[in-house]
Amino acid sequence: MQGKVQIKVRGFHLDIFQHVNNARYLEFLEEGRWAFFDEFNIGDDLLKQGIIWAIVNINIDFKAEASFGDVLEIDTQFTKLGNRSITMKQRIVNIANDKLVVEADVTYVCFSKEHNGAIPLPDDYRKKIAQAIG
């Protein structure tokens, strides 16, 4: 399963050089993950149980610049399933020229507020994620 969301680059996304500021890419990636989780229907039920996905690692590889007016597509997919963690691959592509702008790997742990620590993924979500990975 792969989720996609588009973001148009606005003036407030830019740095002094008129390129998207590196910190804004974190926000773009986060928007992509939230949209993916909405589509995958994985967020609300866990929150009611006091379980959240806590990011423990993000690796970002900046490939090309993006500028004002560019429309960027954020592709998100699961790539790895651990006992207490999941890893996602995200790619940001400029849709005007199909150029890869950013590539990122994001690792989450399943975190229980009640236990104040990482816990194994609930079985129903583990199965759903494993099926999405293929």
Catalytic positions, written as ranges: 15
Place of tokens 């229980």: 112
**Nearest alpha-carbon partner for 92 in 25, 38, 36, 35:** 25
Instruction: Report the C-alpha gap between 101 and 65 in whole angstroms.
Output: 6
Q: For the residues of 94-129, what is the DSSP string, one character each? A: ETTTTEEEEEEEEEEEEEETTTTEE-PPPHHHHHHH
